[in-house]
Amino acid sequence: MSLIETAIKKIQASANAQAQTSLATNNAPAARKAAPKFEPVDPTKIRQFRRVSADAEAMERNCILPQVTDQAALRGYKILRTRIGQRLAANNWRSIAVTGTESGQGKTLTAINLSIALAQDPNTYVFLVDLDLQRPQIASYFGMKVERGLGDYLVGEAELDDIVYNPSIERLAVVPNTRVLEHSSDFLASPRMMELESSLNAESPKRIIIYDMPPLLLSDDVLTFAPRVDGLLMVISEGHTARASLERSKELLAEMNLIGVVLNRSSEHNDSPYY
């Protein structure tokens, strides 16, 4: 068993009862429950957000769906989409913060591709929010040129209609950011941020909200915001995530609802032609 597998097992063992049904396990009682059916949506009543062009080349370069052709990666995102979708539906949860122990482990890539994969389901509408206020990346991963984003909203220089974009991916709306904000956790705790959450939650049809966040260990942003989401998705990277970081994260995660762990950059492959 590798160091990472051992560490994941430790995180799972110490997390709360819901966390114990992590993606790495196959015994999730939540997934066995019948998922509630989404109400049918009248397409004429769906709010149209600002249109923005995403750059197919940038998306391909950054491994963003649907420009990904690697079959193993596509399969991985479908499995992640289905398991997360089942868990959210079974618990009537709607919001997830994507984080990890340190930087560069694939949090943003996972948040984006999970959002797109969820929105590929014709019954699922998604908001993807760039909540890494010190290193916003979502706009550049899509190659989107946007005038204003979340930072402008948080400082009171933009309104909701100015910062929610539709990058021509059906059922996906993106709240990007182009303005770096220092004292980010203060902004996350601000009334303006709560106003944004209320507005997104009040949208019809109801949407799953995926927040791309900074690393758990490098600031207090995740600690500040975690109580306001339904669950956390941890991204760890095989060969990059240190055991000490996982141990430290385990202590912090004990207080939070960990709904899954994604093992990114896994070297494991199943080369069978079917699976």
Ligand X SMILES: Nc1ncnc2c1ncn2[C@@H]1O[C@H](COP(=O)(O)OP(=O)(O)OP(=O)(O)O)[C@@H](O)[C@H]1O
User: Is residue 91 classed exposed, middle or buried when 0-12, 13-18 and 19+ CB atoms within 10 A define those classes?
Assistant: middle
Minimum distance from residue 60 beta carbon to ligand X (Å): 11
Minimum distance from CB of 142 to Mg ion (Å)?
A: 13
Question: Given CA atoms 236, 242, 245, 249 in this order, what sign does their dihedral have?
Answer: positive
Through-space distance between the first and last CA atoms of the chain, rounded to whole angstroms: 22
Return the closest-CA partner of residue 15 out of 208, 227, 225, 231: 231
By CB under 6 A, which span of 38-46, 48-56, 106-114, 170-178 interacts with ligand X?
Answer: 106-114
**Residues in the site for Mg ion, rule: CB under 5 A?**
107-108
Nearest to 151 by CA among 166, 138, 169: 138
Q: Give which of ligand X, Mg ion, none residue 136 binds (C-beta under 5 to 8 Å, depending on kind).
A: none
Structural contact between residues 180 and 151, judged by C-beta atoms closer than 8 angstroms: yes
Regarding 104 and contact with ligand X (CB under 6 A), the answer is yes
106 binds, among Mg ion, ligand X, none (CB under 5 to 8 A by kind): ligand X
User: Smallest distance, Å, CB 106 to ligand X?
Assistant: 3
What string marks each residue from 204 to 233 as x (binds ligand X by CB under 6 A) or -? -----------x------------------
CB of 109 vs ligand X, minimal distance in Å: 3
Phi, psi of 50 (to 5 degrees): -55, 130
Nearer to ligand X, 89 or 126 (CB): 126
Residues 8-67 that bind ligand X (CB under 6 A): 62-63
Tokens of 12: 């799972």
Q: Which of Mg ion, ligand X, none lies near 29, with the C-beta cut-off 5 to 8 A by kind?
A: none
Quick one: what does residue 129 bind among Mg ion, ligand X, none, with the CB cut-off 5 to 8 Å set by partner type?
none
Q: Does the protein bind ligand X through residue 239 (CB under 6 A)? A: no
Cα–Cα dist 152/136, whole Å: 13
Distance CA 31, CA 84 (A): 9
Interacting partner of 204 out of ligand X, Mg ion, none (Cβ under 5 to 8 A depending on kind): none
d(CA 265, CA 267): 6
From residue 167 to residue 206, what is the string marking binding to ligand X with x (rule CB under 6 A)? ----------------------------------------
**Spatial CA neighbour of 77 closest among 105, 54, 109:** 109
Residues that bind ligand X (CB under 6 A): 62-63, 100, 103-109, 132, 135, 137, 215, 264-265
